[in-house]
Every structure is written in structure tokens, then in C-alpha cells.
């Protein structure tokens, strides 16, 4: 009997410990999710001429906005595994009408939600913080020109497994990614610096802010020093058709290149190649 009583006490103790640990983990993850940034991004001017709006629509592709928010910015359910997270990339035609260009530019640059004032998740602001005012203005002018689409309300919730991933540092909030971003190596000359800008703002979201490689939910995006092994024609082919060196089939990279990088101009592809082909080893923290 005595043994039994001890076992009950011990089990009760274990259950309490588990509950306390769960509460502490929940609290700690909630702390990360509630992080905010008081900084406002400087206002960007929205051009109104048709050429700039058309260029904004191209930039919306090149920088992959369409890949998550949908081609008409109508919003998109990206991920739905309640134990990990449910992530909707919101309807931007609705967001811009609701919050105005100033709050939207701040959201994109700082990684803070215009809805909640808290850090966003999955939205790769670390790659968009360095967008030039002119480019961001064109992208927003394009979004503002779209008919207000019926689409998905923004909604993001994180389940217990996702919260543990955040605590373990396996997933990072947009704010963490912005704050921890290490810039890629400087470009040796002006031509390559255009390539550096494009890489920072269109490759960094998957290959890491410093371009030194990062894990992606559907594969590991390698260090972009891998481009040293590419001939110019093979690199152009990768950007245009998604086919890797030596006719290799790629995963995420392939679909993304076909859908979005095919909108790069020839000059942009050359500038990217020029920078990435001689990319020095990034300085990792």
C-alpha cells in the first residue's frame, strides 16, 4: 500500500512538473511572439504613372511577393498544421486600403504586423528591409492599383510544436530575422553592386541574409558561393527555367525560378552572376 501511495505522489509530482514546464514554455514563446518595434519606416512616395506601376508588378514577382500572397495579392493559406502553425499571407489589396501605405511600408521593412503591432511570422522582412524607396514605392503603387480582391483575412497562430521550435531557435520571428540579419559581403565594383542588391532582396529570404545558406521548410538552400561553379549560360538557364547545373532537377528553387526569377531582365541576371560568381566567404556570427 505504502509503495502505491508513493507512486501516486510521484506521478502527481511529475504531472505538476510537466504542467509547470508547459506553462513556462508557453510564456516564453508568448514573449517572443509579442515582441514589437516602435520604429517607423520613413514614408515612401507612391508613383502614379503607368510605367512605374507596371514595373511594380514586375518587382512583385521578382521579389517573390506573389509566391506567398498570390499573383493578385489576394492572400493565400501557406501552412495549415495546427500543432505547428497556421499561417495566412494576407490579402494585400485589403491591407493597403485598411492601413495605408505608411503602415504597410513599416510592416514590410520592420517585420511588424499592421494588425497587431507585434512581430510577424514567415514574412521575410529581413530580405525587404534593404529595398530601395523607389522599388518599394513601385511595389506599393502596384498593390494600390489592384482591384480590392475578396480574399483571405490575415491570420497567424502558432501551436505547441511551433512554440517549442521558436524557443529552440529552429524558427525565427520576422523581427528576430531583421535584427539578426548580417549583410552579404560588399561588391567589388558598381556592376556587381546591382547584383548584390538583387541578391539581398530576392535570394536572401531562402539563402540567408548573408547568402551563406539557410534551411527552408522544403529543403536546404545552399551557400550561394555555389554559383562559382556555374558558367554564365548555366546560371542564366537556372534563373530562366529552374534547371540546375548538369541538368539537375531542383526542388523549391526550380519552381520559384520559373515563376518569379524568369521576370528578371537579362541585365539583372548578368549583375547577379557577376556578384555571386566571386562571392567571398560570408562572415558568420
User: Nearest approach, Cβ of 45 to ligand HEC (angstroms)?
Assistant: 16
Distances (CA, A) of 259 to 62, 69, 167: 9, 14, 34
Q: Which of 29/202 has CB closer to ligand HEC? A: 202
Does position 203 bind ligand HEC by CB under 6 A?
yes
Question: At residue 240, what are phi and psi to the nearest 5 degrees?
Answer: -90, -35
Total residues found in the chain within this entry? 285
112 near ligand HEC (CB under 6 A): no
Give the range of 1-9, 18-26, 189-197, 219-227 binding ligand HEC by CB under 6 A. Answer: 219-227
232 binds ligand HEC, rule: CB under 6 A: no
Identity of the residue, 44 or 253, whose beta carbon is nearer to ligand HEC in the bound complex = 253
Smallest separation (angstroms) from ligand HEC to the CB of 98: 7
In whole angstroms, give the CA distance from residue 130 to residue 137. 13
Distance separating alpha carbons of residues 183 and 13, to the nearest angstrom: 49
Contact 177, 111 (CB under 8 A): yes
Site string for ligand HEC, 13-52 (x = CB under 6 A): ----------------------------------------
Rule CB under 6 A: say whether 144 interacts with ligand HEC.
no
Q: Which of 29, 110, 126, 202 binds ligand HEC (CB under 6 A)?
A: 202
Contacts of 236 (CB under 8 A, 6+ apart): 266, 269, 273
CA dihedral of 234, 248, 263, 100, whole degrees rounded to 10: -130
Hey, which residues between 250 and 279 contact ligand HEC (CB under 6 A)? 250-254, 256, 261, 272, 276
* Least gap, CB of 24 to ligand HEC (angstroms): 24
| Chosen residue from 55, 128, 200, 282 binding ligand HEC by CB under 6 A | 128
100 forms part of the interface with ligand HEC (CB under 6 A): no
Task: Give the full edge-to-edge strand order of the sheet including 85-89.
Answer: 76-81, 85-89, 156-158
Binding-site size, ligand HEC (CB under 6 A): 53
Residue closer to ligand HEC (CB basis): 164 or 252? 252
Binders of ligand HEC among residues 175 to 194 (CB under 6 A) are none
Long-range contacts of 53-60 (CB under 8 A, 24+ apart): 53/138, 53/141, 53/142, 53/145, 54/142, 55/138, 56/137, 56/138, 56/139, 56/140, 56/141, 56/142, 56/143, 56/145, 57/142, 58/263, 59/135, 59/138, 59/139, 59/142, 60/139, 60/142, 60/143
Tell me which residues touch ligand HEC (CB under 6 A): 63-65, 67-69, 78, 87, 89-90, 92, 95, 104, 107-108, 113-115, 120-124, 128, 139, 154, 156, 199, 202-203, 205-207, 216, 219, 221-222, 224, 226-227, 238, 244-245, 248, 250-254, 256, 261, 272, 276
Amino acid at each position: 500500500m505504502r509503495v502505491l501511495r508513493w507512486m501516486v505522489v510521484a506521478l502527481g509530482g511529475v504531472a505538476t512538473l510537466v504542467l509547470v514546464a508547459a506553462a513556462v514554455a508557453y510564456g516564453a514563446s508568448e514573449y517572443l511572439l509579442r515582441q514589437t518595434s516602435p520604429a517607423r519606416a520613413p514614408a515612401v512616395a507612391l508613383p502614379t504613372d503607368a510605367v512605374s506601376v507596371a514595373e511594380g508588378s514586375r518587382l512583385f514577382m521578382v521579389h517573390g511577393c506573389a509566391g506567398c500572397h498570390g499573383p493578385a495579392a489576394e492572400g493565400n493559406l501557406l501552412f495549415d498544421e495546427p500543432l505547428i502553425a497556421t499561417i495566412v499571407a494576407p490579402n494585400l489589396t485589403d491591407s493597403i486600403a485598411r492601413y495605408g501605405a505608411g503602415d504597410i511600408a513599416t510592416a514590410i521593412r520592420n517585420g511588424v504586423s499592421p494588425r497587431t503591432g507585434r512581430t510577424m511570422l514567415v514574412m521575410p522582412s529581413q530580405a525587404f528591409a534593404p529595398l530601395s524607396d523607389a522599388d518599394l514605392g513601385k511595389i506599393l503603387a502596384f498593390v494600390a492599383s489592384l482591384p480590392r480582391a475578396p480574399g483571405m483575412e490575415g491570420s497567424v497562430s502558432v501551436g505547441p510544436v511551433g512554440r517549442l521550435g521558436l524557443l529552440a531557435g529552429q524558427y525565427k520571428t520576422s523581427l528576430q530575422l531583421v535584427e539578426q540579419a548580417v549583410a552579404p559581403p560588399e561588391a567589388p565594383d558598381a556592376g556587381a553592386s546591382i547584383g548584390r542588391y538583387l541578391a539581398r532582396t530576392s535570394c536572401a529570404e531562402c539563402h540567408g541574409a548573408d547568402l551563406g545558406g539557410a534551411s527552408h521548410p522544403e529543403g536546404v538552400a545552399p551557400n550561394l558561393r555555389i554559383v562559382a561553379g556555374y558558367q554564365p549560360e548555366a546560371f542564366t538557364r537556372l534563373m530562366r527555367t529552374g534547371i540546375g547545373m548538369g541538368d539537375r532537377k531542383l526542388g523549391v528553387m526550380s519552381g520559384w525560378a520559373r515563376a518569379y526569377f524568369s521576370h528578371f531582365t537579362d541585365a539583372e541576371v548578368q549583375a547577379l552572376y557577376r556578384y555571386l560568381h566571386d562571392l567571398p566567404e560570408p562572415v558568420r556570427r
